[in-house]
Amino acid sequence: MAHSLIDHASALLLGAGLVLWFWGTWPLLGTHSYLRKLHALSVADTLGSLLMLLGLLLRIPGQWPLLTLALLGLVVWNTIFGYVLAACSLPPRPHPATEQDSAP
């Protein structure tokens, strides 16, 4: 009983992570401002992947050292990489979009 509950919870987490992946990666195809794409990517790649890793952790608790390391690496690296991408792309565009953007 408890086993199937854990299975369901892990499936739910994995599915939610996949939804965030799609939501956050889709804007890459559009013509929004660069920084806006970065915001969306941080949702997809950091938070979506975090949910997926938690789902995997529920599925195989025996491998926790490995998954914890992956979790730590993912969160720290992706976040800092988002910052570096944002900061490095800045000089050629001194004033990135401050206009109001209303997507459908």
Interface residue list for other proteins (CB under 8 A): 14-15, 18, 20-23, 25-26, 28-29, 33-47, 49-50, 52-53, 56, 59-60, 63, 65-70, 72-92, 96-104
For the chain, how many residues are written?
104
Six-digit token pair at 6? 């854990």
To other proteins, the closest distance from the beta carbon of 58 in angstroms equals: 11
To other proteins, the closest distance from the beta carbon of 53 in angstroms equals: 7
Distances, alpha carbon 95 to alpha carbons 11, 37, 99, 101, in Å: 43, 16, 10, 15
Question: Which of residues 8 and 26 has its CB atom nearest to other proteins in the complex?
Answer: 26
Residue type, 97: A
